[in-house]
Amino acid sequence: MEKKMHIVSSTDDNYAQHLGMTLSSLLENTSNPEDVVISIIDGGISQQKKQLLKETAASYKTPLHFLNVNMEEYGGAIASRHISKAAYYRISIPEMMDPAIERTLYVDCDMLVLDDVKKLFDIDLKGNIVAAVSDYGELRRLEKMGITKEDRYFNSGMFLIDMNAWRENDITNKVLTFINENPDKLGWHDQDALNAILWQDWLMLHPKWNAQTHVILKEYEAKSLKEERVLRTVRETPSIVHFCGEAKPWQEGSIHPYTAGYFEYLAKTPFGKKQAAASNNSLSV
């Protein structure tokens, strides 16, 4: 029997539709979607949208359930215009899940998955607590926070977790403590706090697994010819496209090259089909 692949995401009601697209693309491109188990951290999702998310997963014969987080623990968390408090809840993943689960893959609810995530579950973490991709939009964050001068800062939109190592090292409590004691340092919210605690304990993955907008739109300038070759591969054949930042494909006039991909996979979900039906009805009136 194949070991189950546990995928976790988090959303509030506003981003539930986009999460539907993420799940559709992930399951469509997974070799064995029936071996996937989806857990959604409930950041305030309506019953109607919960049902649509369940139907999205069910169409691939994939079980999906919701996790409840102790929101009082995040009273000191700072939200912004395009990042809600729901983004912080990933910090509590190991405490919310079955202790028997060895690995969990977290994915943001604004990601277009174009490769088989089983490849991530098969990697050697080499003793690290998480595996992730460097952040290409914000440089020298650790130095700015007074942590270290080493430039080892990951994007928290996607990371693979060694659940036992996370719990053994009490990472959740350490990150929450950092959030509560350093609100003035959290320019990038939970991502800053996670990096402050895990900067020495993460494995760097190929950037194709979190192809950020800064790279896709060539807003990030490569530091070398070798890095430029790598980033060219990311732009041409990304494994996971991350619609990070304020510019989103669902916004009118989007210039993101993978905007069409977003709508392609959204159309496969009950969210997209419901929108199409409503559009057809309005045209027929």
Residue 143 burial (CB count, 10 A): 13
> Domain containing 187: what range?
5-284
Number of domains making up the chain: 1
Mean pLDDT by 10 residues, the chain (285 residues): 86 95 98 96 94 97 91 56 61 93 96 98 97 89 92 95 98 92 85 95 98 94 94 97 89 93 97 78 49
Q: For strand 240-242 and strand 111-113, is the pairing parallel, antiparallel, or unpaired?
A: antiparallel
For residue 115, the model assigns a pLDDT of 98
CATH number, domain at 47?
A: 3.90.550.10
**177 vs 17: CA distance, rounded Å:** 32
Query: CA 190, 196, 198, 199 torsion: positive or negative?
Result: positive
